[in-house]
Amino acid sequence: MSAGPKHGHPVVVSDLSVEYPAHGASGAHVALHGIELRMEPGEVLGVLGSAGSGKSTLARVLAGAHLDPRDGEVRPFITGGDARVLGTALRSISKRALTELRFHVGYLPQDAATRLQPELTVAEQVAEPILLRDRHFDRRTLSHRVATLVDAVQLPFSLLERYPYELSGGQRQRLALARALVLGPSLLVADEPTAGIDLTVRDAVAQLIVNMQTERTFSAIVVSHDLPVLRRIANRIAVLDRGGLVALGTIDAVLEDPVHPYVRALAGALDAGHAVIDDLAPERPA
Segment 251-262, tens digit of pLDDT: 999 988 888 888
Supply the angle between the helices 169-181 and 199-216 in degrees, to the nearest 10.
Answer: 10
pLDDT of residue 280: 53
Segment 160-190, tens digit of pLDDT: 999 999 999 889 999 999 999 999 899 999 9
Closest by alpha carbon to 81, among 11, 10, 14, 9? 14
pLDDT of residue 71: 56
Contacts of residue 33, defined as CB under 8 A and 6 or more positions apart, other chains included, come to 17, 80, 243, 244
Name the β-bridge partners of 105.
187
pLDDT along the chain (286 residues), means of 10: 57 97 82 96 93 93 86 84 96 92 92 93 96 92 93 92 94 92 93 80 81 86 88 93 95 89 83 55 42
pLDDT of residue 2: 40
pLDDT of residue 268: 80
Put simply, whether the predicted model's pTM sits higher than 0.85 gets the answer yes
In the chain, the amino acid numbered 160 is L
The answer to whether 135 and 210 are in contact (CB under 8 A) is no
pLDDT of residue 55: 95
Closest by alpha carbon to 220, among 205, 235, 239, 231? 235
Contacts of residue 227, defined as CB under 8 A and 6 or more positions apart, other chains included, come to 48, 251, 266, 270, 275, 276, 277
Would you give the end-to-end CA distance of the chain in angstroms?
A: 51
